[in-house]
Structure 1
């Protein structure tokens, strides 16, 4: 088992800036000349990574600020919230555990130099063990860990959880990678989330089975395998938006309400995939009619394992957007900022821990569907311990990447329990400068609604809805004349909430828009 990085070496770590840093000494060792022990040191972390042209990767933090990060979120102050998984699958791998439980950490760059200098424990509990998701919504933090989804509240603003409430429970996949995953905030003010094929069903905070949009109990009598959901912030009005996935790790929602996610194959079959989630669709992991697996003989069977794997020739199976071969796909986000080069804007940004890569997917319309191409953003070309677990967009428009950093991808094993990395990807030399948002006026809140960071947009949405009629004029102006279609779409969604009397008018305007995304 590895040792915590000694505190006396933090100063050396903080001097690291970029994998393209020309200030390195002439005798600095190249990655292929480092010993295995040297390669694992935080000060050498960037040497094994390759960053896309036009971008720069910097280290924000490593151990001892946190360890074994499984998921992250970034709040409107630019602080990084980390779920740790030291107590990861001990019954299977035999690793030691912490009797105090795992932790949720808040990591902060307090002096604006782009490097984490403080971290604090927001929550720790003996029943917090290897959580897989975190979503920061103001003073509420949603934590996903089968069999529970909890809401943790910081009531007095001291960065400590004061109370914990159950949002959902009864979800399968306890201490399993295929349980419930992270929640995300949508442009319609609802929450979106998914679980893998161990999840099976949902129960509410009172232990009652949750019913779907048709009034049917969510479970195997109606749905197969992994599912993706939408609900109100309080957990009511749950809808199943798609099913028959294997293990979708996160769902990303763009400003128009389109849903995108990845899915993992049965290990070793080179069938991992990216999906556009067509609402209420069947995604073919098992036979929709009889539940048979992909290898079962059937009529019109596909000609290769990666295609057989998803029953793509079966009537009713929604086609995949893209198949990405072998992998262990993890976190995903829609990048709707402007701080990165054009080729990364309005793209899915996705982590795949298997091939040690963070990718961007360029999606183009083809007929009634889509196709996609891959652009790598960050890859562990010479460090196969690079295991990107999650990616988020910070309020300044940069990307924040969490690295599990391990010889393996999880899968119930952990070869290392104490390391972890957080990287920032931005344009070269871009400072980590977090904009100061004003949520007290309609104009300020509308500006915050245009931020690429979801935690900022949540607070802006909440502020605008709270203002009611006072917010309508600025929202209507944005809806009518904003040059950015995504900003128009966000204003439209808030208008439907704050001005129900005018909803028909806004909808009719959307239906005749020249932009098909707004018409849909």
Structure 2
């Protein structure tokens, strides 16, 4: 038994009195508030713009009652449960104080009916739940998600003190990580749904045994096809765990509607404007990493999408389920499907979502389109234009149908860092003049339970569902009446309960003939839940007029051989409906060698004249698919073929290579170039036919990037003139650096050094600037010969000194500095390089070596209040930031993009991210130390690890480099950010942040 904790008394609540609600401030009045006033609870509502004037936002709770809410739930009594994260990422934030007793689960309650919480109760506190990311209150169980565990607390006697705490799951990756395990929610089918982000890695039972899929494969990110973030469901007792979707980046929560359909948001690699909303089609791959190799989305590939947001999710690849919506920049958090009646009609039955990045709460009305959906965006709450500390972390529906929003309230969005430990708010959104009144629910009578079953609050829905199932036949008549006469979604809720009663399968067959396609969708989903095996039923439903229903039939035959059903489903496919095509692919997984020949035989010898047939072949994974793709390619040479060339990457490597080689003699030069780029090539055991073609083709390649790729891949040494021209071209600095690196690897440093001796000083300086970007010790020594030679012209020495930076070059520079071999006139430049080195050890030693004059202590409060020069800040960003970040089309795609950073971080957050970069490393951008078996080591960003390769980005480069995994000794994540602490003055920092604040959409 846990010790009962005392109710916290709260002071100062008079400021929230609702006897008379004050008028909200207009823009002019709000702008006159001090920063301290803006951050106070008194002005919390003034900082948020409410888009719908029929609604009213009220402050339900704030500090000191609570702080830093990561997640929220509301029980059937209308009480708000909060998971706090005061002890958030403490290992990365040593400057932050911690609460020794650990983080808390709080229950907030309005006991006097004035719409404001006046009582805060600690349900549980401990260091075992530090920075929990999920809480769900369902009956006498409270599910708390805190990687590597999911805990279940039981409060059987309802005294708000848990009698026991049990581990439900363990071994989830991402300890104290935003991309770990997230919240649980109750589905209409009696199941619990949950997910984790791409730090999750795998799911294990409490005894450590892995969760297995129906084929007996462990569900983790090392098992094909499972990758990255995943979606699961289970029975409330923890049994029958199923994996339902994978390959997300950070799917923060999953929401279900009354038909059993799932909806999610997903965060992009920070700064790439690719945040998305998904309708989650069961068993789907959602494309964050390459399905076949695990390569990151930046990896150049055939048929690569035109825009970053499409590239980001591999949307041109066969086997990837499309997105519902792109919401671009964001840090998405809580999500739900609002099935209440209190809010206006346009929000009813729609997805509602909180996004902490752009400080916004939105609705996404969706309508069916083929087997999928289309959607639009409606804003509800917006803090960006006023208070960009508003960080909505969750949205939840109360029993009265009002919407509650928890607010992390911070200058940043988490991501391992926070700027404020003490603040946090909860808001209520409802129509004007609708008070927050929650009656005591009655779970004894059937009539009351029928009403409670229809409640939009999940905790109420759960208890009513379980009570009705327990009543069995006693509740059958009332449930049948609701199923017959109710509104569509409430009919579905009644239907799901009926399927749990004796003879429940009979209701499934009744629902399958309903006039409402959504009820028929629920029927097929219930067929799966009840583990029915009636092929004749599915065969009949495969001819349903609704593509939505046929989609569900396809998902129902996953893992099952049902060729007749699949062939009938294919008859209903129309080219262009990607959702349907992916559903067919999901259904055929493991059976392509059976299904595809039957389909082609039925289609006849003219199958290539049918776009539908070519789509099916493109999506297929049969033994002979590569050969069929080759036949399609030969009928339509040109760029239209890139989609089919890309499909070859999802076939066996041997079949892919054989097909590509067979095409060489019969395709255009354009296609030959595609084949050169795509075909596997072993430089140690080269294919002479392919190497000869590469040598013959390279000189005529028009695209510079294609040229660089081919020259590098095949080690061609006869393209020196063009390669040198690319080094010196000024249009694309990234290509210039690539060309310099390739040039150095092919011809050696000695060849480059000759260009540094040019008698024309201008040409000499240009050569040093261009080839000096090669980051290795050999180049560092060549540059040192120049800048240490005081007989050389000052301009030449200065350029050489400025080029002496880089992770692999700076150790040599540091040795020269320590031994006093750098001339005095060059020392200021060398000092600046070393003090901002990417190598943390060098940076620390340089700080100590150069003394206190090299250290900066900043007054962030003073800087926040100051206004800087945007123009000067842009210059500083060009000198420092663009070496590793992109702003628009400028810069290097190494670290997170900065194009809309002003929308994501407040002024305080920007200062902190620059001054203390290790506190807020974006996930996927952590420093990794790679040690090779030959003794060399380097730091980098690891983009992906495939079965054979380690794919990394080296410092200051947007390009990826591939190392053979057999040559890698170890990969270790470091706590220190790759971003150095730049030696900037306070004035320079103010100017830089003033510029970064302008980077908005």
Deviation at 1:508, TM superposition (A): 1.9
1:419 matched residue in structure 2:
423
Distance of 1:250 and 1:214 partners within structure 2: 27
Change (3 A) 1:29 1:161: farther
Alignment match, 2:878: none
Distance 1:200 1:407 in 2: 30
Aligned pairs (5 A) from 1:202-217: 202-217=203-218
Equivalents in 1 of 2:57, 2:216: separation in Å?
48
What secondary structure sits across from 1:467 in the alignment? helix
Q: Which has the larger radius of gyration?
A: 2
1:193 corresponding residue in structure 2:
194
Secondary structure at the counterpart of residue 490 of structure 2? helix
Deviation at residue 221 of structure 1 after TM alignment:
1.1
In structure 2, the partner of 1:221 is 223
1:52-131 to 2 correspondences below 5 Å: 52-53=51-52, 54-94=54-94, 95-131=96-132
8 Å Cα contact 1:213-1:238 kept in structure 2: no
- Cα-to-partner distance string for 1:384-415 (whole Å, 9 max, x where unaligned): 00000000000000000000000000000010
Deviation at 1:99, TM superposition (A): 1.5
1:255 aligns with 2:258: yes
- 3-state SS, counterpart of residue 365 of structure 2: strand
What is the distance in 2 between the residues matched to 1:430 and 1:273?
33
Deviation at 1:365, TM superposition (A): 1.5
* 1:480 matched to 2:493: no
- Is 1:288 the counterpart of 2:291 in the alignment? yes
Shift of 1:138: 1.4
Aligned residues: 508
Distance 1:373 1:367 in 2: 17
Higher helix proportion (structure 1 or 2): 2
Candidates 270, 273, 290, aligned match of 1:270 = 273
User: Is residue 382 of structure 2 the alignment partner of residue 383 of structure 1?
Assistant: no
| SS at structure 2 position matched to 1:92 | coil
CA distance in 2, matches of 1:368, 1:29: 49
Paired residues for 1:361-510 under 5 Å: 361-380=364-383, 381-482=385-486, 484-499=487-502, 501=503, 503-510=504-511
Counterpart Cα distance in 2 of 1:421 and 1:371: 33
| TM-score (normalised: structure 1) | 0.95
- Asked whether the 8 Å contact 1:52–1:376 carries over to 2, the reply is yes
Shift of 1:7: 5.5
Distance 2:116 2:395 in 1: 17
CA-based RMSD: 1.6
Uncovered stretches (5+) of structure 1, i.e. residues with no partner: 1-5
Which of 326, 329, 336 is 1:326 aligned to? 329
Q: Which residue of 2 aligns with 1:3?
A: none
Higher relative contact order (CA 8 A, sep 6+): 1
C-alpha separation in 2, matches of 1:517 and 1:402: 32
Question: Displacement of 1:479 after TM fit?
Answer: 1.2
Q: C-alpha distance in 1, partners of 2:230/2:505?
A: 32
* CA deviation after TM superposition for structure 1 residue 126, in Å: 2.2
Instruction: Extract unaligned runs of 5+ from structure 2.
Output: 1-8, 522-1001
Residue 218 of structure 2: SS of its match in structure 1?
coil
Shift of residue 215 of structure 1? 2.6
User: What are the Cα deviations for residues 262-307 of structure 1, in whole angstroms up to 9, with x where unaligned?
Assistant: 0000000000000000000000000000001000011110001111
Question: Is the CA contact 2:148–2:170 (under 8 Å) kept in the aligned structure 1?
Answer: yes
Matched residue of 1:265: which SS? coil
User: Is the contact made by 1:212 and 1:237 (CA closer than 8 Å) also made in structure 2?
Assistant: no
After TM superposition, the score normalised by the length of structure 2 is 0.50
Name the CA distance, whole Å, in 2 between partners of 1:276 and 1:449.
25
Shift of 1:29: 7.7
**Structure with higher strand content:** 1
- Which secondary structure state, in structure 2, belongs to the residue aligned with residue 91 of structure 1? coil
**Paired position in structure 1 for 2:172:** 171
